[in-house]
Structure 1
C-alpha cells in the first residue's frame, strides 16, 4: 500500500542541524537589536530628566503659594508673618479664575485649618487650592 502523505524532506540533515538552521534568523535578529540599542544609547547626549519625588532641590524651595500656614498656626504671605486682622488685606483679591493657593504644614491641626478656611470664606474667598506634596 502507498502512503498518502510523503515523508518530510530532510535533505539529509539531522534533527539537530534543522533546529540550528531554524534558530539562525532569531539569533541574527537579537544581534541586530542589541547593536541598535548600543548605538542609540551612545547618540543621546542629554541626561535623563529628573523624576518627580527624586529631586531634593525641589523639596528645599518653598511652594509657590499665596498663603503659607505653619504648624504653630502662623500665617505667612510673601515671607511676612501676619496676624488675623491683616491677613485678608495682604492676600490678593478674590478671583474665580485664579483661586487662592494655600500651603499648609503637615503638622497643622484640622481645627486650625478649619478656622483659617472660615476666615477666608468670610473675606470672600469661595474657592481655594490646598497644595500638597507627593508621597515619597
Structure 2
C-alpha cells in the first residue's frame, strides 16, 4: 500500500496559495516594468553643444539661463515681469524648453520655475550640458 503524500499539516487551499505567491509577484513586477517603460518619451532630446560637431551650435531653447543668472529669449535679457509675455503660450501643448548654464544653482532655477508656474507653464524640459 502507498502512503498518502506528506502535506506537512497544510490544507489543499493553503498549499495552492503558497504555490501562487511567486506567480503573483512575477506578474506585479512585469506590470511595474511596463508602467515605467510606457512613460518613456519617444522624442529624443536635442543635441547639446558639447556633443555636436560644432561647439558654437546651441540647442533650440525657448528660454536661456546664462551663467550670471540672466533670463534671455532670442538674445534679449528679461525680468520677472517681462518674461511671461515673451515666451510661447503656456496652453500651446508643447513643453517649454529651458537651457541652463552648468553654473546655475538650484535656488536660481527654483525662482525661475516659480515664475513659470505662476504663468501657467506645467510642462518644462530643462537642457543642460553634461559634466565632463
**Same fold per TM (> 0.5)?**
yes
Partners of 2:114 and 2:50 in 1: how far apart?
A: 32
Larger radius of gyration: 1
Residue 126 of structure 2: SS of its match in structure 1? strand
Does the 8 A contact of 1:96 with 1:127 survive in 2?
no
Q: Does the C-alpha gap of structure 1 residues 78 and 87 become closer, same or farther in structure 2, counting only changes over 3 Å?
A: same
Partners of 1:97 and 1:109 in 2: how far apart?
A: 28
2:117 is aligned with 1:89: no
The alignment covers a number of residue pairs equal to: 84
Q: How much does 1:75 deviate? A: 0.5
Give 2:32's aligned residue.
Answer: none
Alignment deviations for residues 97-116 of structure 1 (CA, whole Å, 9 cap, x no partner): 31100000000011000000
Q: Which runs of 5+ in 2 are unaligned?
A: 1-48
Give 2:122's aligned residue.
Answer: 126
CA RMSD of superposed structures (Å): 2.1
Moved over 2 A (4+): 52-56, 132-136
Q: Does the C-alpha gap of structure 1 residues 126 and 71 become closer, same or farther in structure 2, counting only changes over 3 Å?
A: same
Q: How much does 1:54 deviate? A: 5.8
TM-score by length of 2: 0.57
Q: Which has the higher helix share?
A: 1
Give 2:69's aligned residue.
Answer: 73
TM-score by length of 1: 0.55
Give 1:102's aligned residue.
Answer: 98
